[in-house]
Structure 1
Amino acid sequence: MPRKGIYRILVCRPNHRLGNTILLTPLIAELERLYKGVEIDILSEGDIAEEVFSTFFSVKNIYCLPKRGFKRPVSFLATLFRVRKVQYDLIVDPCLGSGFARAVTGFLKGRFKLGFSDKPADSKLTHPVPTEAARQHMAQRPINLLRWARQHYAGVVDDATDYPSLDIRLTDTELAQGRAVIEQLSPASQRTTTSPVVGIFGNATGAKRYPAEWWNEFITTFKEMCPASSLIELIPMHGRSMLGDQWPGYYSTDIRRMGAVMAGMDLFITADCGVMHLAVASRVPTVGMFSVTDASVYEPYGCGSRALLTKGLSARETAMQIVRDYATVLGQAGPVDAKPATATTPRAEGINAPGELGQLGLTH
């Protein structure tokens, strides 16, 4: 891999999930840093990537394969052959264990093809990187991919202590519009600079979702401890409140509008899901609550965000923990309550600790 001469890059990530798409934003930031003046194309699935990367100046083309593409073979193949016409300097397959992404990478044209593989001869890559270099966090694996390759193939040692954060790069106009929505939704009595605005998203997939009774106990405890806080519910895509319509709600099918509204909040609380990643990428301090999935793979980081492991905790204990951890944000002075037994993922010793691989989760 040359240190210079990389101008056209394709990131091959054919996936339609919101979280997995947003987890690509640090990779784009790292490519921009390493290859000044580069033009980046993205191969995705569905139309989410078009919204997520719409304000990225370096991103030129976003090729969107149809979801369940084999049921729409004409559109699927037309998109693939359109991308294949382009000769890229570098194609990056950031996935760990995706046979589909690797097959697509092998089909497309690139001088250099970079990805994870422990079987170089069968990898369809010009520059394979061993999977042990991936490490744990999903958003940081592609960064480690690039840094390992540059060190071993180009002799360049990059700073391994810092990682770009998730960021969908909301514009000033979007941020202003989000603040206006917050103003409209907040009760008149709490429209002051001292009343914290707390967003809650009560939905998630499968076992990651907390039941309505859990949320009722959580919010009752939270409001007892922070009566001045203004709660706003982010309504899921299906258009129904998960909290019984007890609080002002904001609904949008537009990802960036959702992000702009969340960016106007002081704190956002959610289970592990794609909206959690969207909140982090909107630069709002985010508490991601984990009950079944591996927090070290998906935990929010940066901008005061953190993961909270709730297995073994009651809803009341979870609320107490969050209020204590974010006492300054929530305007609480002094001790909030007795500390419940809990566990949170350590920031410095977790995703950024060199050499710690753990179990590599592959999906989200």
Structure 2
Amino acid sequence: MRILVELPTWLGDAVMATPALENLFLAYPEASVTVVGSYVATEALKAHPRIKRVVVDRTKERGWRPLNLYRLAKELGRHDLAISFRSHFYSKMLLTLTGSKKRYLYKKTIDHRPSTVGRIHQVEKYQRFINTVTGRSDTPGALKLHWRPKRYDRPTLGINPGATYGSAKRWYPEKFAETAAAFADRFEILIFGGPGERDIAGDIERALRNEGVSNLHNLAGETTIPQLCEAIGGLDLFITGDSGPMHIAAAYRVPTVAIFGPTRDEETSQWMNPKSVIVRKEMACAPCMKRTCPIITHACMREITPQEVIAAAETLL
């Protein structure tokens, strides 16, 4: 049997899909699995021993996308079962063009009851979707990645100030720096970030060095996705916003302080990480789920203090 899986686009969503994927693989133990998706999603999951083929979807990069999808579908070929964790029209087109016998597309309105969506974690949504594929009643286990965590010589704290989704999810560099400085006598400090987050990571690095902190390394834009997984997986403490790296940390059960503002923590908090603490503010305008603050104040993040985050971290140590 041949199974095709289109992964979620975002890194964090791809990691949150791993419990559902594990149950899919258990339901079809002899199947040969091909995954297709964004570069970051496929890079994070390609180490799984059940995945035999990985194809990066580059259909948005240049040219007419429908034609690119046709070419991608022919490259992928026909499968006995084709599944997409995306609900986009182009995902439906891709699965159709492969000519696969059975095709399943994820729907954001789980069980066709939109009112329940805000109360269900994304991991559970993905599992419900896969249950419609397999006909089973599986429950999701823990997040799982197959990159080996790095071993550090000294206790190490990771700081992740970025959030690809938008600026509204980002806490402030000066606050991250103040928080990290409070732990500099006990931990080596690593600053994480993607290529587009070098500026904010650089601001944190400069602020820390101005405070005399020298035991730090700025890795923003310097790691591959596998290296990012390995580096986060070996941490002793992680302080982050709602982001893909936050879910990587959950997969390795890293003690984590997660700072939430405009997003729903009941949907996207760390899944099954017993050493996770959420710091957030109760506000009438939150969660707004916007990429940028619609009322400019950004109060849901601005009012979170370094002292609150430090206190939350101390409960994990």
Same fold (TM over 0.5): yes
Shift of 1:293: 0.9
Q: 2:83 aligns with which of 85, 92, 102?
A: 92
8 A contact 1:272–1:289 mirrored in 2: yes
Tell me the SS of whatever aligns to 1:113: strand
Q: 1:210 aligns with which of 168, 171, 192?
A: 171
- Between the aligned partners of 2:267 and 2:97, the Cα distance in structure 1 is 29
Tell me the SS of whatever aligns to 1:62: strand
Residue of structure 1 equivalent to 2:93: 103
In structure 2, stretches of 5+ residues that fail to align are 209-214, 282-302
**Identity among equivalent pairs (%):** 20
Residue of structure 2 equivalent to 1:358: none
Q: 1:79 aligns with which of 72, 75, 84?
A: 72
* TM-score (structure 1 length as normaliser): 0.67
* Number of residue-to-residue matches in the alignment: 278
Residue of structure 2 equivalent to 1:360: none
Residue of structure 2 equivalent to 1:28: 21
Q: 2:305 aligns with which of 285, 296, 314?
A: 314
Residue of structure 2 equivalent to 1:140: 124
Q: Deviations over 1:324-349 (max 9, x none)?
A: 2x1xxx2xxxxxxxxxxxxxxxxxxx
Matched, 1:59 2:43: no
Matched, 1:10 2:1: no
Q: 1:11 to 1:149 in 2, by over 3 A?
A: closer
Q: 1:10 to 1:268 in 2, by over 3 A?
A: same
Residue of structure 1 equivalent to 2:191: 233
Q: 1:198 aligns with which of 152, 157, 161?
A: 157
Residue of structure 2 equivalent to 1:263: 233
Tell me the SS of whatever aligns to 2:195: coil
- Between the aligned partners of 1:111 and 1:290, the Cα distance in structure 2 is 42
Q: Which amino acid aligns with 1:165?
A: A
Q: 1:60 to 1:264 in 2, by over 3 A?
A: same
Residue of structure 2 equivalent to 1:219: 180
Q: Deviations over 1:173-221 (max 9, x none)?
A: xx3xx22xx32xxxxxxx4xxxx4221112223111111232234335x
Matched, 1:281 2:273: no
Q: Which amino acid aligns with 2:40?
A: I
- Between the aligned partners of 1:102 and 1:231, the Cα distance in structure 2 is 44
Q: Deviations over 1:276-300 (max 9, x none)?
A: 1222234423332111111122111
Residue of structure 2 equivalent to 1:112: 102
8 A contact 2:256–2:313 mirrored in 1: no
Shift of 1:72: 5.7
Q: Which amino acid aligns with 1:167?
A: K
Residue of structure 2 equivalent to 1:68: 60
The Cα RMSD (Å) is 2.9
Residue of structure 2 equivalent to 1:349: none
Q: 1:67 to 1:271 in 2, by over 3 A?
A: farther
Shift of 1:75: 5.0
Q: Which amino acid aligns with 1:55?
A: A
Q: How does 1:111-190 map to 2 (within 5 A)?
A: 111-116=101-106, 130-132=111-113, 136-151=120-135, 156=136, 158-160=137-139, 163-171=140-148, 175=149, 178-179=150-151, 182-183=152-153
Q: 1:301 to 1:23 in 2, by over 3 A?
A: closer
8 A contact 1:299–1:307 mirrored in 2: no
Residue of structure 1 equivalent to 2:290: none
Tell me the SS of whatever aligns to 1:110: coil
Q: Which moved more, 1:239-248 or 1:287-296?
A: 239-248
Shift of 1:31: 1.2
Matched, 1:249 2:217: yes
Q: Deviations over 1:247-285 (max 9, x none)?
A: 511523311112212222112110111221222234423
Q: 1:315 to 1:13 in 2, by over 3 A?
A: same
8 A contact 1:14–1:43 mirrored in 2: no
Q: Deviations over 1:24-51 (max 9, x none)?
A: 3223211111211221111213x22442
Structure ID, larger Rg: 1
In structure 1, stretches of 5+ residues that fail to align are 1-6, 120-128, 184-190, 331-364
Report the structure, 1 or 2, having the larger helix content.
2
